Amino acid sequence: LAASFGDGPLRGMRVLVSAGPTFEDIDPVRYLGNRSSGRMGYAVAAAAAAAGAEVCLVSGPVCLEKPVGVARRVDVRSAQQMLDAVLTEAPRSDIYIAAAAVGDYRPRAPAEHKMKKSDGQPLTLELTENPDILSTVAALAHPPFLVGFAAETRDVEAYARGKLERKKLDLIAANQVGVGMGFETEDNALTLIGPESSEKLPRCDKRELAQALIARIAAQFHARRN
Ligand code: CTP
Ligand code: CA
């Protein structure tokens, strides 16, 4: 056990990180997914471990290895599975960082067998909204310190602040996404927004950005406790 607690600003803390996309099955061979590589979330998990935390990483389908120092990785596929895994871990976590790109909708009734084309007819998929993982965790009796992410293509700060309030978060890390930015890239820039604060973390390598983010989260987490 001692080996999983290093030295640093999150020494002795349990940190839960969710990362990657979710895949929502349409039939046994197809799914709805999103453009998340998981790199930012994995970098955040690695940085939290390096800061001394015992880290549990709940991961959607990605092509990444469990980062060195991360105590546990729980693999999931769909938003519902991610919710279940997060709800299992959240009550014993001090901090939950939601870096996953959760699918907002899933096919209402996935087909049991591979769907077939039918003579050039258009296909309509009926979708149903997925549960909001962060809001569900925020509604627990003793929620952990909650950090969300918001990827936006416009009006980044305004939308992110709205999510901070609606989801009852302690912090939200907002970034502009679009062509050549944010997704499937090696670097990223974030604006870290709290109820009474806003700070820009300039564009850099996702690993460095994650370290800066963890330093701010640790500071605000301890400030909140004292
Ligand atoms: N999130 C979540 N559960 C969902 C959807 C999102 O926990 N079902 C989390 C994400 O992990 C992220 C934050 O909420 O930390 C914001 O995600 P985002 O997709 O930007 O927000 P939404 O509320 O889904 O709003 P929209 O996609 O309409 O902008
Ligand atoms: Ca969404």
Q: Where are the alpha helices (DSSP H) in 51-199?
A: 79-89, 133-138, 156-166
Tokens for 222, please give them: 């301890």
Q: Among the atoms of ligand 1, which is closest to the Cα of residue 166?
A: 23
Catalytically active residues, by annotation: 34
Which pLDDT tens digit goes with each residue over 21-33? 999 999 999 999 9
Q: Is 91 annotated as a binding residue?
A: no
Write down the pLDDT at residue 1: 47
**DSSP annotation string for 31-86:** EE--S--SHHHHHHHHHHHHTT-EEEEEE-S-S-PPPTT--EEEE--SHHHHHHHH
Which pair of tokens denotes residue 16? 């839960």
Give SS3 for 214: helix
132 has binding-site annotation: yes
- Measured distance CA(123)–CA(133) in Å, rounded: 30
Q: Give the separation between CA 222 and CA 224, rounded to whole angstroms.
A: 5
Kind of pairing between the strands at 127-129 and 105-107: antiparallel
Question: Which residues are registered as beta bridge partners of 150?
Answer: 174
Q: Say if residues 47 and 13 touch (Cβ distance below 8 Å).
A: no
pLDDT over 70 (residue 16): yes
CA of 78 to the centre of ligand 1 (A): 14
Contact (Cβ atoms closer than 8 angstroms) between residue 102 and residue 130 = yes
The response to whether 131 counts as a known ligand-binding position is yes
Whether the Cβ atoms of residue 147 and residue 154 lie closer than 8 Å to each other: no
Question: Strand, coil or helix: what is 105?
Answer: strand
Considering every ligand atom shown, identify the ligand nearest to the alpha carbon of residue 101 and give its number.
Answer: 1
pLDDT at 190 over 60: yes
The length of the chain is 226
Q: Give the whole-angstrom CA distance, residue 58 versus residue 74.
A: 5
pLDDT at 73 > cutoff 80:
yes
Å from CA of 125 to ligand 1 middle: 22
Confidence of residue 184 (pLDDT cuts 50, 70, 90): low
| pLDDT tens-digit map of 107-156 | 999 999 999 998 899 999 999 999 999 999 999 999 999 999 998 989 99
Q: What is the structure's pLDDT at 2? A: 47
Residue 6 pLDDT class (50, 70, 90 cuts): low
Mutate to test the pocket of ligand 1, among 35, 102, 168, 183 (most ligand atoms within 8 A of CB): 102
Q: Near ion ligand 2, which residues have CB within 5 Å?
A: 104
User: So what's the pLDDT on residue 179?
Assistant: 62
User: What is the Cα–Cα distance from 124 to 54, expressed in whole angstroms?
Assistant: 45
Q: What is the pTM of this model?
A: 0.94
Hunting for tokens 């996953």 — which residue is that?
A: 100
pLDDT band at 225 (very low <50, low <70, confident <90, very high): confident
